[in-house]
Amino acid sequence: MAHISRDVFKRVIACDPYLIDGDFPVYVERADLAGVFSQADVVSLHTPLNAETKGMVEGSVLKLMRPGSYLVNTSRGAVVKIDDLLRQVDDGILAGAALDVLPQEPVADKRLLGHPKIILTPHAAFFSVQAEAELRRKAAQNIVSWIKTGRPDYVVVPGTRRLSV
């Protein structure tokens, strides 16, 4: 993202407390989380979801953003507290947000659907050769398990459209 952004924006700043300085490209300025949110016109999230990052982007962090700025989340939905994000967008602090992931999918929070300042996109990172091979392997494994035990390993629960193990 930094490589793409450097040609679009004057500055690229990033926060990753687990990378040493030498791991950042030379054109990326290092900042802490508050520094990124207070200085950037666009904040793009690329973090795993764990106990440390769950709900990390909440009201006090979002309030640091400059008026007219944008938030993009392509990492994990639960990193952002949606109520706080909507408040900042509706109050005019953020110009908008683009969400490729949500805390609950399909969309549970109907305020997001059709919101004029929020773009929702399908999280399609699973479209890869590796993901397709894994999908085929699991489908074949389901058939084998069903024949052996009478129950597949990967069950689709009716009405939820979710995969459960």
pLDDT given at position 119 = 93
Q: Based on the structure, what is the number of domains in the chain?
A: 2
Q: Which stretches of the chain are DSSP H helices?
A: 2-5, 33-39, 59-62, 82-90, 129-149
Question: Domain with 77 in it: what CATH number?
Answer: 3.40.50.720
- CA–CA distance, 73 with 62 (Å, rounded to integer): 13
Percent of the chain with pLDDT over 70: 91
Phi, psi of 87 (to 5 degrees): -60, -45
Q: Which residue has the tokens 């939905």?
A: 77
Q: What is the mean pLDDT of residues 110-121?
A: 91
Residue numbers annotated as active site = 76, 105, 123
Under the banding of pLDDT at 50, 70 and 90, the label for residue 115 is very high
Verify that 80 and 143 share a domain, yes or no: no
